[in-house]
């Protein structure tokens, strides 16, 4: 009798223990399910360029602020992965990174052009990246030394010698842009190539090796441009358009304003090839991540852009314009529309963009 009572007692004890363990496991599972995915995680934010450039500055700025607006507040570590003008890091994001939403890339804004012309080093489709959004707008413009005979488009047409444009290489977007503008507005260009950086091109102008340069309007926030403007050293000849730059003088004409009707095809081509000026600082994550995780990243990115502390820092570092941004969904559509061009347009782009440079 006593033995049976002991058996019942121990049986009840083990049943109770098992029930408590099962309940604890269920509660633990529920807690894990309600815990934000990014809690306790680290996001790797890759930067497609070397340290110090505008993409690096924008990437590190984002790394400092984005985690505050993701549920769970993950740690974000910025890491440079330069190579092939940004293609190395883009290939890595598309083909190596796990589709878990723990890797973000500060993308080189013009890399999509290299996909369009079929460069063999491009091993991805930029349309298949999951885009988080972009900030800033950086339209192109042409500026020339005031003491040169090239202070207007009309003067360029009439000049005895064509304006000398300082360039990095034949594949640089400044080279492409100046060629397209010359074709649209009917003047000739002489390219002076081989400069290793934007600052070297500036020095080339100061040394009298070049008369003009094509660059984005964001150049005005960095030396020596503020001094050049103050001293009247340069003249702004033309800007991209159709929307005017917020930092250039209002009287600087746009290409769209001066372009003749018969130049529409080339004008449309220019808008495709420099479409990236509308999404100056784009960010993406890998293809195939869960939809709900992508939504968290996109929402966090938009909230970051509205953060006053982000905006204050961005104004100092990247000439932040709060009105110039694309949401992730908008940027996804913009990339899709830009890259998806008919064969005739792709052929024309290949004619303009050389095979050798990016």
Residues 113, 216 within the same domain:
no
Is pLDDT above 60 for 316? yes
Instruction: Enumerate residues 6+ apart whose C-beta is below 8 A from 28.
Output: none
Burial class (CB in 10 A: 0-12, 13-18, 19+), 16: exposed
Helix (H) or strand (E) run with residue 113 in it:
helix 112-116
* Whole-number CA gyration radius for the chain: 27
Residues 149, 260 within the same domain:
yes
Tens of pLDDT, residues 177-235: 999 999 999 999 999 988 877 888 999 999 999 999 998 887 887 789 999 999 999 99
DSSP 319-339: ---TT-EEEHHHHHHHHHHHH
User: In the listed set 245, 275, 305, which residue is the last one of a domain according to the structure?
Assistant: 275
Contact 79, 249 (CB under 8 A): no
Residues 144, 271 within the same domain:
yes
**Tokens encoding 115:** 């996909």
Residue 16 inside a domain? The answer is no
Contact 144, 212 (CB under 8 A): yes
Residue 74 inside a domain? The answer is yes
The pLDDT assigned to 32 comes to: 47
Residue 203 belongs to a domain with what CATH number? Answer: 3.40.190.10
Task: Grade residue 16 by pLDDT with cuts at 50, 70 and 90.
Answer: very low
Residue 120 inside a domain? The answer is yes
Contact 161, 155 (CB under 8 A): no
How far, in Å, CA of 195 to CA of 168, rounded? 5
Residues 213, 319 within the same domain:
no
The pLDDT assigned to 57 comes to: 86
Cis peptide before 224 (omega within 30 of 0): yes
Residue 5 inside a domain? The answer is no
Distances (CA, A) of 279 to 37, 299, 332: 29, 18, 11
Residue 122 belongs to a domain with what CATH number? Answer: 3.40.190.150
* Predicted structure pTM score: 0.78
Tell me the sheet residues that pair with 134.
282, 326
Residues 218, 155 within the same domain:
yes
Residues 243, 302 within the same domain:
no
Residues 145, 95 within the same domain:
no
Residue 198 inside a domain? The answer is yes
User: Could you tell me the residue range of the domain that residue 217 belongs to?
Assistant: 140-275
How far, in Å, CA of 209 to CA of 32, rounded? 65
Residues 165, 245 within the same domain:
yes
How far, in Å, CA of 164 to CA of 232, rounded? 19
Contact 26, 45 (CB under 8 A): no
Nearest to 232 by CA among 249, 213, 214: 249
Contact 195, 167 (CB under 8 A): yes
Residues 258, 227 within the same domain:
yes
Residues 145, 192 within the same domain:
yes
Please compute the mean of the pLDDT values over residues 159-176 and round it to a whole number. 86
The pLDDT assigned to 312 comes to: 87
DSSP assignment, residue 160?
S
262 C-beta neighbours (distance < 10 Å), count: 8
User: In the listed set 240, 275, 310, which residue is the last one of a domain according to the structure?
Assistant: 275
Tens of pLDDT, residues 25-58: 445 444 445 789 999 999 999 999 888 777 888 9
Residues 283, 271 within the same domain:
no
Residue 6 inside a domain? The answer is no
Residue 24 inside a domain? The answer is no
Residues 321, 198 within the same domain:
no
How far, in Å, CA of 114 to CA of 173, rounded? 12
User: In the listed set 275, 293, 319, which residue is the last one of a domain according to the structure?
Assistant: 275
Residue 357 inside a domain? The answer is no
Please tell me the number of Cα atoms within 13 Å of 194 on its side-chain side: 4
192 C-beta neighbours (distance < 10 Å), count: 17
Is pLDDT above 90 for 8? no
Helix axes 328-339, 291-305, angle to 10 degrees: 110
Is pLDDT above 80 for 355? no
Contact 194, 169 (CB under 8 A): yes
DSSP assignment, residue 109?
T
Task: Grade residue 3 by pLDDT with cuts at 50, 70 and 90.
Answer: low
Question: What domain count does the chain have?
Answer: 2
Contact 208, 164 (CB under 8 A): no
């Amino acid at each position: 009798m006593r033995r049976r009572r002991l058996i019942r007692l121990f049986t009840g004890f083990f049943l109770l223990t098992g029930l408590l363990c099962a309940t604890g496991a269920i509660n633990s599972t529920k807690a894990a399910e309600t815990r934000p995915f990014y809690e306790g995680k680290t996001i790797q934010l890759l930067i497609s360029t070397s340290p110090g450039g505008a993409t690096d500055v924008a990437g590190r700025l984002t790394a400092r602020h984005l985690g505050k607006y993701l549920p769970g507040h993950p740690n974000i570590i910025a890491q440079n992965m330069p190579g092939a003008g940004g293609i190395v890091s883009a290939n890595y994001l598309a083909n190596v990174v796990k589709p878990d939403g723990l890797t973000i890339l500060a993308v080189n804004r013009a890399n999509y052009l290299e996909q369009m012309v079929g460069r063999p080093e491009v091993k991805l489709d930029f349309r298949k990246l999951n885009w988080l959004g972009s900030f800033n707008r950086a339209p192109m413009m042409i500026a020339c030394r005031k003491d040169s005979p090239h202070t207007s488009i009309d003067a360029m047409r009439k000049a005895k010698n064509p304006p000398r444009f300082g360039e990095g290489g034949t594949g640089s977007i400044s080279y492409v842009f100046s060629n397209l503008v010359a074709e649209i507005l009917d003047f000739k260009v002489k390219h002076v190539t081989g400069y290793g950086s934007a600052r070297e091109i500036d020095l080339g102008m100061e040394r009298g090796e070049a008369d003009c340069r094509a660059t984005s309007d964001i150049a005005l926030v960095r030396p020596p441009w503020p001094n050049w403007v103050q001293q009247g050293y340069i003249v702004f000849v033309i800007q991209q358009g159709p929307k005017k730059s917020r930092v250039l003088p209002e009287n600087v004409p746009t290409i769209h304003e001066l372009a003749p009707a018969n130049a529409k095809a080339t004008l449309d081509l220019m808008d495709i090839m420099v479409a990236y000026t509308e999404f100056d600082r784009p960010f993406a994550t890998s293809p195939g991540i869960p939809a709900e995780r992508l939504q968290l990243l996109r929402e966090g990115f938009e909230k970051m852009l509205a953060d006053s502390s982000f905006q204050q820092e961005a104004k100092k570092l990247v000439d932040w314009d709060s009105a110039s941004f694309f949401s992730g969904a908008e940027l996804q559509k913009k990339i899709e529309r830009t890259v998806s061009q008919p064969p005739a347009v792709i052929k024309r782009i290949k004619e303009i963009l050389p095979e050798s440079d990016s």
